[in-house]
Amino acid sequence: MCATAIVAAISDPTLFKNGRELSAWLGLVPRQSSSGGKQQLLGISKRGDKYLRCLLIHGARAVIYKAKDLENPIHKWIINLKNSKGANKAAVALANKNARIIWALLAKQQTYKQAV
Which has the closest alpha carbon to 10: 113, 111, 114, 100?
100
Overall average pLDDT of the 4-23 stretch: 85
Q: What 8-state DSSP symbol labels residue 41?
A: E
User: Is the C-alpha dihedral spanning 2, 75, 103, 48 positive or negative?
Assistant: positive
Strands (E), 1-116: 30-35, 38-44
- pLDDT per position as a tens digit, 44-94: 766 777 898 899 999 999 999 988 878 888 888 899 999 999 999 999 999
**Predicted pLDDT of residue 82:** 93
Kindly report the pTM of this predicted structure: 0.81
CA distance 49 to 27: 8
